[in-house]
Structure 1
Amino acid sequence: MSRGAGWLAGAAGVAAVGSAAGVSMARSLRRRVTDEDPHRDEDFELLDADRSCVVTTSDGVPLAVREVGPEDAPLTVVFAHGFCLRMGSFHFQRVRLTEHWGAQVRMVFFDQRGHGQSGDAPPETYTVEQLGRDLEAVLAVMAPKGPVVLVGHSMGGMAVLSHARQYPQRYPTRVVGAALISSAAEGVARSPVGEILKNPALEAVRFTARYAPKLVHRGRGAARSVIGPILRAASYGDEKISPSVVAFSERMMHDTPIATLVEFLHALEVHDETAGLETLRRVPTLVACGDRDLLTPKEYSQEMADVLAKSELVIVPGAGHLVQLECPEVINDALVRLVERATPSKLTALTRRVTQRVRSDD
């Protein structure tokens, strides 16, 4: 069989698996959308209006960066987004925490390589280890001094762990706290969707994306037919999720290049950043997830929290993988507590006074 014929057979296999494995998940997703939409008028592109710059990684990839808050704020919080998403997946954190922290905190957001407005990169660099190095590049430019708290969702949490493993000297001298949201220290093969993600047909698409990129567009529909329903169904758990939030997250997933999707999918299956947990033991941490997360089930979070002596474990009832979009108030409150635990007493006192003032105004 020729390489082209083999690839086409693989693509057909992906489509077949997608039809069989994805239909129940797609139906489940439809049940979770309600006619009520509290976020109908939400501006999900708000981050695009924030101060912007480009950070170039060590291997020359341009990363799109946005920041909000004073440049001389006492603390910088850096957000790393997840698989098939972009920095906008922290929309509700950007909106609500800006109001809460005011001038005390600067928030930095960026698109991972191959995602959002950041540049594409050689497929062999789509690894969790490289994401840790990319995070260091962002910190070197955006937060060269002063305390930093890292917040990672899903693959972004794995990037935080990778950074902790590769740059342990930064903890706790520079990085004073970290949040791992809907994440895992090891590959996701143990999750309920692990067996589907091991389908050989996906490897065929990955091979094409790496060695025959001009042909990869022919496999877009086939690859998405198996991966798309899984991602969508795993994203949310509550039966009353806002249609606007669902549509926003689906746009992020759909806009992710197919090469990025299949390469990082493989990376998430095989990564092992458990060594990073030893470094994170030095700083206060937040470990959070939804109890209906199919991609990184709560057991992953529980295992990490058990290792991290200074951790707070938050398991959100009824929430799926995109817990920071589905239940933003719970995650925001947990991040506020993390900052209070991780920052110097002066900032903690200021943050608490702001909180008390807001509550008294209510």
Structure 2
Amino acid sequence: MHYVESGAGTPLVLLHAFPVDARMWDGVRTELDAHFRVLAPDQRGMGQSPLHEAAAPELTSGDSPWPDEREPSPDSAAEDVLALLDELRLPSAYVAGCSMGGYVAMALARRAPERIDGLILADTKAEADSTEQRDNRLRVADRAEREGTTGWLAGDTLPGILGRTTRHRRDNVVERARALVEQQPSAGVAWAQRAMAARPDSSGTLRAYEGPALVLVGDEDALSPPESARDMAALLPRGELVTLPEAGHLSPLETPETFANAVREWLDGSG
């Protein structure tokens, strides 16, 4: 499992959205690593992480071996994160997840809440997909395997995952997001879509999570809108909600300084 590590102190794991990789966190990570030990992994099949163990290159200091080949699901991805924590001898960490990364963070809270010092959920939702949403994910997965992703995935995805302010005023962020989407391996895109389609409703998981929790949402997020974030924060016994201005579904990439400030203030208060 490829990951980027920087900083020292309290460990914080950043789990990226679909269909990008850990580089979406670069701006946030550099804002936080003066105060925290920040770990940003590429999830299975995305970025530089192989889809299966057999595809793994010789390990470097930024790599950790996969435990085994797993069926697509957020719980499988959560097991990969637990294996990384074990590899780094970290008994627990703060965990932040954006969109798909939020699904993985909730799976971690379901499987091993004792390993999470605090939970940060950004631009994500607790409920499972509807039948229509699930079917659409599976169609995208099949198309990615059949055709690859060049020429259509970024065009289909970016209007939904970027806020209107970013689309109209932040050309550099739009191009950065486009580049990240276009660099993702087709097989990893398909695995991730099938994993998200297989996810359960996590409302009960959030009600049962007793640790500190922060819910962040861009006020221009059309996929996981602010009203959904309010409902999710209300499920968490110790949940707090922060709405980020002029940000969409990829708020850490769109407004990294604002996002990092909200996380830093919350971590300072919850520690």
The one-character-per-residue Cα deviations of 1:89-131 (angstroms, maximum 9, x if unpaired) are 11111111224x2xxx211111100001111139962321101
- 1:235 aligned partner: 161
- 1:358 aligned partner: none
The yes-or-no answer on 1:182 pairing with 2:123 is yes
Q: Percent identity?
A: 25
- 1:327 aligned partner: 255
The yes-or-no answer on 1:278 pairing with 2:224 is no
The answer to whether the 8 A contact 2:142-2:190 is kept is no
Matches within 5 A, 1:182-201: 182-189=123-130, 198=136, 201=139
The answer to whether the 8 A contact 2:149-2:182 is kept is no
The answer to whether the 8 A contact 1:283-1:342 is kept is no
Which structure has the greater CA radius of gyration? 1
Matches within 5 A, 1:204-219: 204-205=142-143, 209=145, 216=146, 219=147
The one-character-per-residue Cα deviations of 1:260-295 (angstroms, maximum 9, x if unpaired) are 223322332341233321343x11111011132233
**TM-score computed with the length of structure 2 as normaliser:** 0.83
1:186 counterpart letter in structure 2: E
The answer to whether the 8 A contact 2:44-2:51 is kept is yes
Deviation, 1:336, is 1.0
| Partner-residue secondary structure (3-state), 1:125 | coil
* Distance in structure 2 (CA, Å) of the matches to 1:326 and 1:151: 16
Alpha carbons of 1:92 and 1:284: their partners in 2 closer, same or farther (altered >3 Å)?
same
- 2:6 aligned partner: 68
2:82 counterpart letter in structure 1: E
The answer to whether the 8 A contact 2:138-2:197 is kept is no
The yes-or-no answer on 1:160 pairing with 2:105 is yes
Alpha carbons of 1:96 and 1:189: their partners in 2 closer, same or farther (altered >3 Å)?
same
**TM-score computed with the length of structure 1 as normaliser:** 0.63
Unaligned runs of 5+ in 2: 54-68
Alpha carbons of 1:183 and 1:143: their partners in 2 closer, same or farther (altered >3 Å)?
farther
The answer to whether the 8 A contact 2:11-2:94 is kept is yes
The yes-or-no answer on 1:295 pairing with 2:231 is no
The one-character-per-residue Cα deviations of 1:184-223 (angstroms, maximum 9, x if unpaired) are 1223449xxx6596288546437xx3xxxxxx3xx1258x
The answer to whether the 8 A contact 1:188-1:295 is kept is no
| Counterpart pick for 1:77 among 12, 22, 40 | 12
1:115 counterpart letter in structure 2: M
The one-character-per-residue Cα deviations of 1:11-67 (angstroms, maximum 9, x if unpaired) are xxxxxxxxxxxxxxxxxxxxxxxxxxxxxxxxxxxxxxxxxxxxxxxxxxxx01221
CA RMSD of aligned residues (A): 2.6
- 1:117 aligned partner: 48
| Partner-residue secondary structure (3-state), 1:198 | helix
- Going by fraction, where is helix more abundant, 1 or 2? 1
| Partner-residue secondary structure (3-state), 1:93 | helix
Matches within 5 A, 1:246-261: 246-261=174-189
Alpha carbons of 1:269 and 1:187: their partners in 2 closer, same or farther (altered >3 Å)?
farther
- 1:24 aligned partner: none
